Amino acid sequence: MFTKILGWFWLIMGVLYLIKPQLLQWRLSKKTSRKVRRFLLLLTFFLVFSLGGVFLKLNGFWPKAILFLGILGVFRIIFALRAKTSKKLIEWLAKQSLVFFRIFALIYIGIGLVMLNLFK
Cβ contacts of residue 74 below 8 Å, gap of 6+?
A: 44, 45, 48
Give the C-alpha separation, 55 to 11, whole Å. Answer: 19
Give Dmax over CA atoms of the chain in angstroms.
44
What is the identity of the amino acid at 106?
L
Q: What tens-digit pLDDT sequence spans the chain (120 residues)? A: 667 777 788 788 889 888 988 887 777 666 556 676 677 777 777 777 776 776 777 777 777 777 777 777 777 766 666 666 667 777 787 788 888 888 888 888 887 887 777 655
Mind giving me the DSSP string for 39-90?
Answer: HHHHHHHHHHHHHHHHHHHS-SHHHHHHHHHHHHHHHHHHHHHHSTHHHHHH
pTM of the model: 0.57
